[in-house]
Structure 1
Amino acid sequence: MTAASLLFTVACSGTEEASGVRNESPTAELTIVPANGETEVRPDTPITVTATRGTIEDVQVIQTPLPEEGSEASASPEAENTASDESEEGPSEVDTITGTLNEDKTEWVSDWTLIPGSTVTVVAKGKSPEGDVTEFTSEFTTLAATPGKRLEIQSNFPVSGDVVGVGMPVIINFDLPVENKAAVEAALEVISEKPTQGAWNWFGDQTVVFRTEEYWEPYQKVTVNMRLAGVQAAEGVYGVKNYQLNFEVGRSQISEVDNDTHRMIVTRDGEQIKDFPISNGKGTTRAYTTTSGIHLTMEKYQHLVMDSSTVGIPPGHPDYYRVDVNYAVRFSNSGEFTHAAPWNGSLGQANLSHGCINMSTEDARWFYENSYMGDPLIVVGTDRELEVDNGWGYWQRSWEEWLANSTLGEPDRTDEPGSPGRPHGTIGEQAEAAE
């Protein structure tokens, strides 16, 4: 045994302690790094198994978290807007360390990072040229995450169990800033029943968003594996938990609003099902102009008090308003909702609102009851363009722009395991690997 590797020679019929004396029977020879007995191994260090004689037949990695003393309490996996990291049966599959074996079966490299502060056992089987199978083992411990430098998910949209519209992105908000964005992107794996491709974009240092090239195909399940445990998000900052998100894409419902005709047309699964008279923003100021572009429905309220002070028009201002509305569906962060406006006598004729889409009570109730989070709502005909970071305006970027804004710069195929890039290493090591 050397400091850099582990080499056991054991009989095919069982295992025995390595004695340093080569067995006369022909055996495979494997080297495992990190080596047996190492301590405080960086959790973003890849595990490598190399065959110096024979081939690699199988590698299993077992992680056992060590008891933590005085560490910060972690967020409950059942917290609102947080992906679950544990199933009812026990640890999720996201804690399983898989690896990639080269074509001639002489090198295996782990795909994911390791849980900080854990005992890691690597059991590898090698096959000699003569056909004998030998088992090799390495056990080491990983460096624990430092209190105050433990990256976790603060919230995410959607949450497990949600049924969403075909435009729905995956939005992850972290509790700490992320500098090593390439490593974090590489730790996020999106799998869908119907193949497509997408990519992640960052909005600031704590929010990352996955969007597909085209809308999701309807009626399918999507899984997001967030293998963040052990990823070095910034200097000395490590992810401490893995998460899994499971949601469903429902029917395809797309609504189009024409500012000039004052109508909303709703199409479901390719067929028009509704044609509503509406009234958009009166457009006398930018604040009162409904934004044009591809919006997504975000949240809804059966009853909502709309106060202009939330959009910068305080009490005492000539344009100040405070009104009670029913059946409100948000589609931006600049105060825009669809909602019932029984006081508006110009539905289908003129634009008189403060920027919202006014509807009759009956029509607003239907839209409220039949909207999923993530349904596309497209507005055309106004001179105010929706910003990409206004609400969920992510479809305002073309696919080429979206892909160019991904740190990894490569699309992620949702019908293939893994993701572009590798989650191992610091920013500097990521840059070297990219070169």
Structure 2
Amino acid sequence: MRLIAAMALACGLLAVPSVAQAQAGKLEIADITPMDEKTEKVGVGFPIIVTFDRDVKDRAAVEALLQVQAEKPVDGAWRWVAPRKVIYRTKFYWKAHQTVTFTAQLSKLPGNQAAKDVTRRFAVGAANISVVDTRKHVMRVTRDGKLAKKIPISAGRGGLVKNGVDVYLTTSGVHLAMNKKPMETMTSSWLGVTDPKDPRYYKEEIPWAVRISDSGEYVHQSAGYYQFLGRSNQSHGCVRATPAGAKWFYGITQRGDVIKITGTKRKLDWTNGWSYWQLNWTEWKKGSALLTSSR
């Protein structure tokens, strides 16, 4: 794998920060997503999300100490999305069925010698890639390049505009599975509707829910209304599936699996959940402190 950090150091593009430039206080990692190889397998779209315990002052110096090595290499780059958070994404999807090792050598940061170096290994599972066609009302799921199942679906019907956005439309774009629950409580509070007397109010227990955005989109079992599956879009923005299809999809889903949705006029924003694949590779790399400092 061509590691951005390693390339920058080898080519002399990154100056070693002086003690005066060192991070004020001991910098540590507060959280790493996803979990390690013993806890979960992840999908081929998965990002590595690193959150620090304080704001990072010298991003280039810290980024140079973050390394990613894969058994089946593919190019990748870091992007800073907040003063304490940096995300690693690959140029193309990870290769399936392998391990990826992340290492943070924060003790090498000047003035930060007391920090603990961190290593985490991720297990990449099957290449689950789903394409939801909201116009033909079907989700096609491939596993390791082979069509595994076609599931009739119903997507967002549209018709409720808030701040210029039709919030009842499902967002088109490359989503990632973020988490899943066998039963999820879904309410109308996201609409600002909390009064049970309001005709728009709802509170439902929904089976086999796979979350794919921060704006409340899921792939889940349809709560009735089966007559619309495969025929028309009737949801509030989620992708509704048949009971059998939703349960099967839930069972195979790994965090980081790819769910590409097509056919709606509402575009998925790259900051909505783990929707980082919405940025093309050139745009993604602009968020790297190393690449910026080496120009």
TM-score over 0.5 (shorter chain): yes
Distance between the aligned counterparts of 1:300 and 1:320, measured in 2? 24
**1:61-107 superposed Cα distances (whole Å, 9 cap, x missing partner):** xxxxxxxxxxxxxxxxxxxxxxxxxxxxxxxxxxxxxxx99xxxxxx
Verify: 1:296 aligned to 2:172, yes or no. no
Verify: 1:192 aligned to 2:56, yes or no. no
Distance between the aligned counterparts of 1:331 and 1:175, measured in 2? 27
Identity rate of aligned residues, in percent?
Answer: 41
Residue 5 of structure 2 is matched in structure 1 by: none
Please give the secondary structure, in 1, of the residue aligned with 2:283: helix
Match of 2:285 among 359, 380, 403: 403
Residue 323 of structure 1 is matched in structure 2 by: 204
TM-score by length of 1: 0.58
Residue 138 of structure 1 is matched in structure 2 by: none
The one-letter amino acid paired with 1:291 is T
**1:206 CA displacement:** 1.5
Between the two proteins, the alignment pairs up a number of residues equal to 271
The one-letter amino acid paired with 2:66 is L
Task: Give the ranges of 4+ consecutive aligned residues of structure 1 lying more than 4 Å apart after TM superposition.
Answer: 236-239
**1:312 CA displacement:** 4.0
Distance between the aligned counterparts of 1:378 and 1:280, measured in 2? 13
Match of 2:224 among 343, 347, 351: 343
Contact (CA 8 Å) 1:341, 1:361: kept in 2 or not?
A: yes
Distance between the aligned counterparts of 2:262 and 2:221, measured in 1? 21
Match of 1:158 among 26, 31, 34: 34
Residue 206 of structure 1 is matched in structure 2 by: 84
Please give the secondary structure, in 1, of the residue aligned with 2:194: coil
Aligned residue runs from structure 1 range 273-292, under 5 A: 273-285=148-160, 286-292=166-172
Aligned residue runs from structure 1 range 5-404, under 5 A: 149-161=25-37, 162-231=40-109, 240-285=115-160, 286-309=166-189, 311-316=190-195, 318-344=199-225, 345-404=227-286
Deviates more, 1:297-306 or 1:178-187: 178-187
**1:318 CA displacement:** 4.4
Q: Unpaired segments of 5 or more residues in structure 1? A: 1-99, 102-110, 117-144, 411-430
**1:238 CA displacement:** 7.9
**1:330 CA displacement:** 0.4
Distance between the aligned counterparts of 1:320 and 1:356, measured in 2? 16
Q: Unpaired segments of 5 or more residues in structure 2? A: 1-8, 161-165
Distance between the aligned counterparts of 2:145 and 2:31, measured in 1? 33
TM-score by length of 2: 0.85
Contact (CA 8 Å) 1:258, 1:381: kept in 2 or not?
A: yes
Distance between the aligned counterparts of 1:210 and 1:383, measured in 2? 29
Change (3 A) 1:237 1:288: farther
Deviates more, 1:192-201 or 1:318-327: 318-327
Contact (CA 8 Å) 1:228, 1:241: kept in 2 or not?
A: yes
Change (3 A) 1:239 1:169: farther
Distance between the aligned counterparts of 2:265 and 2:84, measured in 1? 31
Contact (CA 8 Å) 2:206, 2:223: kept in 1 or not?
A: no
Please give the secondary structure, in 2, of the residue aligned with 1:379: strand
The one-letter amino acid paired with 2:194 is P
Distance between the aligned counterparts of 2:214 and 2:222, measured in 1? 20
**1:333 CA displacement:** 0.5
Please give the secondary structure, in 2, of the residue aligned with 1:364: helix
Please give the secondary structure, in 1, of the residue aligned with 2:272: coil
Contact (CA 8 Å) 2:101, 2:120: kept in 1 or not?
A: yes
**1:207 CA displacement:** 1.3
Change (3 A) 1:112 1:246: farther
Contact (CA 8 Å) 1:313, 1:319: kept in 2 or not?
A: no
